[in-house]
Amino acid sequence: NAGVTQTPKFQVLKTGQSMTLQCAQDMNHEYMSWYRQDPGMGLRLIHYSVGAGITDQGEVPNGYNVSRSTTEDFPLRLLSAAPSQTSVYFCASSYFGYEQYFGPGTRLTVT
Amino acid sequence: GQQLNQSPQSMFIQEGEDVSMNCTSSSIFNTWLWYKQEPGEGPVLLIALYKAGELTSNGRLTAQFGITRKDSFLNISASIPSDVGIYFCAGRVQGGSEKLVFGKGTKLTVNP
């Protein structure tokens, strides 16, 4: 099992550019989620999904879109990047009611 | 939104010392998870707790699900330099969704 994989590992964008952060898991987990981690703020939930075709907003969803067409993949789209979106992004997955496993993260800088 | 109060915020200890940290909330939880994060890496699960009063060990690490269901504790015995990192607690609120609530972390520094 590869677990939770994320690509790219690093990314630099200019303000206004768009991009997609990829997340995949091979554990057949129903639940997947995206977090951002900023210094002193801990982990904040952006969007989550309880299964293919079902997504919902977390604590800080503005400026991000998600979709879940398969159980394995849960991409995060930045529509028009802003410097405030400079952060480290983590994807996580779990079976319902059980422990969440995290990917290695994507470090994004928006200039 | 929901918050977990994690303390202490940071700890500086000597190698060989024992470490204790905890998380508290005003809400009742049905799951407590403890993670460790090293620089440049994602959080790695250390211990999962699902039952009030449960005490679970993973090597030198021991965590407990508080009897009140509003708190959890993590102890590290005989610390070593590779214990350095940030330790996060996370939990699921009773009757809530799958979403996890996270503490802000305890940064552990171990002096050899």
How close, in Å, is residue B68 to chain A by CA atoms?
A: 20
Checking if the pLDDT of A97 tops 60, the result is: yes
Taking alpha carbons only, the member of A104, A36, A47, A45 closest to residue A75 is: A47
CB-CB neighbors (< 8 A) of B92 in chain A = 97
CA distance A66 to chain B (A): 16
* pLDDT of res. B1: 56
- Which residues of B fall below an 8 Å CB-CB distance to A? 1, 31, 33, 35, 40-45, 48, 88, 90, 92, 98-100, 102-105
Closest partner residue to A102 (CB to CB) among B42, B99, B105 is B42
| A&B contacts, CB < 8 Å | 50
pLDDT at A62: 96
pLDDT in tens, B44-80: 999 999 999 999 999 999 999 999 999 999 999 999 9
Alpha helices in chain B (DSSP H): none
Average of per-residue pLDDT across B13-19: 97
| Each residue's pLDDT tens digit, A65-84 | 999 999 999 999 999 999 99
Q: CA of B4: which chain A residue's CA is closest?
A: A42
Q: Can you tell me the mean pLDDT for A58-65?
A: 95
* pLDDT score recorded for residue B99: 87
Q: How far apart are the first and last CA of chain B?
A: 39
Confidence of residue B94 (pLDDT cuts 50, 70, 90): confident
**Of B33, B41, B99, which has the smallest distance from its Cβ to A48's Cβ?**
B99
Strand partners, A35: A45, A90
Q: Residue B104 and residue A31: Cβ atoms within 8 Å?
A: no
Q: Nearest Cα to B62, choosing from B78, B49, B75, B79?
A: B75
CB contact under 8 A, B98 and A31: yes
Q: Are A72 and A93 in contact (CB under 8 A)?
A: no
Strands B55-58 and B61-65, bridge-based pairing? antiparallel
Rounded to an integer, what distance in angstroms lies between the CA atom of residue A68 and that of residue A49? Answer: 7
User: Which runs of E-coded beta strand occur in chain B?
Assistant: 5-7, 10-14, 19-24, 29-37, 44-49, 55-58, 61-65, 71-76, 85-93, 101-102, 106-111
Single-letter amino acid code for the residue at B79: S
CA dist B50 → A70, B62, B69, B72, B102 (Å):
29, 14, 10, 11, 16
Cα–Cα distance measured from residue A35 to residue B53, given in angstroms and rounded to the nearest whole number? 30
